[in-house]
Structure 1
Amino acid sequence: MQPLNYRHLYYFWVVAKEGGIARAAERLEMAVQTVSTQVRELERSLGYALFKSVGRGIELTDAGATAAHFAEQIFQLGEALPAAVQEAANAQGVRLAVGIADALPKPAVRHLLQPAVQTPNLRLQCQEGDFDDLLADLALHRLDVVLADRPAPANPNLRVFSHRLGKSSVAWYVRADIAEKIERDFPACLAEMPLLLPTPDSAVRSRLDDWLARHGIRPRIVGEFEDSALLTTFGESGLGAFPAPELSSDEFTRSRGLALLGRCPDVVEHFYAISAQRKVDHPVIRSLLAGAEHTTA
């Protein structure tokens, strides 16, 4: 196979985005024949047809759709390159772009990042979002690391690597004034209270469901939340009791007006740092992994 000609790939990418050679030629301000020739050269070098005729138009073949997917990533990175270079040249200190999965308990994030924030002149950029979307941004090098409550799924098309960062057993909390009125001991009291839980697709939900079942508790669920910060907010409002990592206990009970109902040490949340390299070379991420033992409760 011949080395990839990125000029040919660019013309193909524009044709794919515009949906036709004539529209692509107009956008590129080039002759239709020139654009068509460039696309044929790319097909010749790859050994596969990238477009097929449909009526009076064309559409991508399966091979063309795959090529267009990769071309989109390549040229999106290319468009971001000038701004990234300028930012790097003008930046003061060390930059760390962190993706934080929605389901990751936010009070735990500070503990997880504690070894990193001690880096002198650190410029920390945090982006919260859907786990799969963050992994895609990581693979495109828009993020340096993703923090999550689960490892990255096995995917041959997604080259990312999961590193164990810590763990914490789960405890139950409720607003302090509500806790004062509870008559039954923990965990039996949970059967008489409205409960707030993570959504079923969260990593810890099945463990919580099993734990409740083992203790004969039929939960009265009044809210399910994908975003852990939103779950905590509703818990603070008094809507119900809720589970959260035990490492958050001091913060919850001292500054958030919550009471610790009880602990369930056999339900554990695991925390992961996911990187785009198996061998991490970013100095701040290395310090984060080196300090992982401090995030265990």
Structure 2
Amino acid sequence: MALPQVTGRYAGRRRTNFIATALSIGAAGFGLTWLLLILTVLVVKGVGGLTLAVFTEMTPPPGGAGGLLNAIVGSLILTTFAVLLGTPLGVLAGTYMAEYGRYAKLTMVVRFINDILLSAPSIVVGLFVYEIMVATMGHFSAWAGAVALAMIVIPVVVRTTEDMLLLVPNTLREASSALGLPRWIVIRDVAYRAARAGMITGVLLAVARITGETAPLLFTALNNQFFSWNLNAPMASLPVVIFQFALSPYEDWQQLAWTGALLITVTVLALSILARSLASKKVPL
């Protein structure tokens, strides 16, 4: 009598497993289908406007010929300064949490706040920077946009730096300390070197995160139809130009919006692939 019960129970588990597997595959297929449709539409509409003028001419007035040069350069400037501002702070905070204050109460507080910042809407960050910088200075500026993007970079870098350093075996630190090396040298030459690939991956993921951010820039850097190197004035950026051109009734602006969206998608895809390849690469000590 025991054998039929066992057989029946086994058949029920197999049936449950089959249903769960089928639902999982169906959900994954459903999501991938919509992603494929979005990418297909983006490529079809974006490639049509991908010409040399996109990279060599400024954003045009309605009905005129032009490109996205000022927006592309503006995005590069804002992203570069955001990474330069946010990465050192994120690395230092993550280093303290993993190396110096691993069991401190301050670390628990910082980790909790960092998790909140990771999930905070970017528009909230933009409003905060608008209040403390734009309203105080009396005008929009690229500096305010870079600070807003840096505040999005910091929590990503903090989390990845802490996680990567925690993965470094303590035996490596103990062996280095046994040789008489100061702790900061152990962290710099041993811990950082072992966690280097993961830390660089975190920075790349942060760059991919801020590449398409629009809301913070609407409240900080705003936009500029002309080419400008002045960081104390409004500056054009690709996400904001896409937002404005996509909502316009002009077909030439809408075409540039599709082309700009394709450029951002390709950039984020390239950064994601590079981050994946670095994450799977083992760095020799």
The normalised TM-score by structure 1 is 0.22
Instruction: Looking at secondary structure, tell me which structure has more helix per residue.
Output: 2
Structure ID, larger Rg: 1
The normalised TM-score by structure 2 is 0.22
Q: Which has the higher contact order (CA 8 A, sep 6+)?
A: 2
Instruction: Looking at secondary structure, tell me which structure has more strand per residue.
Output: 1
